[in-house]
Amino acid sequence: MNRTTAVLGCALLLGVTGCSDRQPLAPASTALPPPSFSHAPVFPDVIPLPVNPEGIAVGTGSTFYVGHIGIGSLYGGDLRTGTVALLRAADGRPMLGLKHDDRSGNVFAARGPSGAGTVVNAHTGAVVAEFTFASPPGTTVINDVIVTRTAAYFTDSFRPVLYRVHLGPAGDVLGGFEVAPLSGDWVQETVAHCGVGSGAPALPPINANGIEVTPDGSRLIVSNLRVGTLYLTDPVTGVATSIPLAGGNVCFADGLLLAGHTLYVVQNLLSQIAVIAMSPDYSSGTIERYIQYTTPLTTIARHGNSIYAVTAGFFPAPAAGHHAVRFDR
């Protein structure tokens, strides 16, 4: 196993805390002073982060949120100034994908191999609700989440299912959850990786990863990192239809962002974001270009005409430290 596969496997299975080659971080239970940007432009292109990040979510105004992939601390920040401060102290469980619901002011967090999903008040840091979707640890990776008008949907990278948490009209959590098995065209792959076959890199069996919702809320778009495919998925039944892509595939597909009929797909180990023009009904797409970066990225969020991605916290920090980076759409 090479360095890349070893670090990625360790990160997802052990929640980073057991991985080596990490730069030490300040204790997550202590709020860090905001970075100084006295000479930085408004909406800086790079925002230093005091965490090993995986998820990023944009809230109301210019607020944003990032979590620690290893120990689960949650930070809030301002995209306009680049300041970042502790919102909720670490609880020892990984924090992966995040999504903010503007209606309720809550942040929904996927908690990785702990099998949980957590809902946090974005103003106070208090836990609003928590769900144990799957157990025992090590058999599940709750990876990402999307919030729709009626529900929050969580992906599980080790199991071919979606977890659905029902929400009220104001975004209030109604309690309980349902499991929707992924079926139809869905492929749950444990050996091959993007068609490589048995000689594929020795990665963990990561399948379902990023998730988005079509504007009318009728379908979900789910990425499969190991297969390199996107699926248009019924949010109730879990029936998934593969989305043919002209111009390539989306191997190592991580976070997703849909803006109108443009879909952004983070391809983490390739250090790039695929920009895809989707058909009117989102059943097919064409890869138009790639946004390249210097280090692996994970998830993505939108603010106005900019998109923000975070460096992959399951890798050792880049020379400049882990950070959020802004790209023009």
Question: Which pLDDT tens digit goes with each residue over 7-65?
Answer: 344 344 334 333 433 333 333 333 434 444 445 558 999 999 999 999 999 999 999 99
For residues 157 and 161, give the distance between their C-alpha atoms in angstroms, rounded to a whole number. Answer: 9
Question: Which pLDDT tens digit goes with each residue over 229-248?
Answer: 999 999 999 999 999 999 99
Question: Which pLDDT tens digit goes with each residue over 100-152?
Answer: 999 999 999 999 999 999 999 999 999 999 999 998 877 999 999 999 999 99
User: Is pLDDT of 296 > 70?
Assistant: yes
pLDDT class for 192, splitting at 50, 70, 90? confident
For residues 194 and 95, give the distance between their C-alpha atoms in angstroms, rounded to a whole number. Answer: 26
For residues 187 and 206, give the distance between their C-alpha atoms in angstroms, rounded to a whole number. Answer: 12
Would you state the pLDDT for residue 318?
87
Q: What is the pTM of this model?
A: 0.88
What's the CA angle centered on 122, arms 119 and 124, to 5 degrees? 105
The rounded mean pLDDT for the chain is 88
Q: Is the omega angle on the peptide bond into residue 136 within 30 degrees of 0, that is, cis?
A: yes
Q: What six digits make up the tokens of 56? A: 């990023």
The 3-state DSSP class for residue 253 equals strand
- Residue 143 host element (H or E): strand 142-147
For 194, phi and psi rounded to 5 degrees?
Answer: 55, 40
Domain ranges of the chain: 1-25+44-80+294-329
Count the Cβ atoms, other than its own, within 10 Å of residue 91: 16
For residues 207 and 287, give the distance between their C-alpha atoms in angstroms, rounded to a whole number. Answer: 21
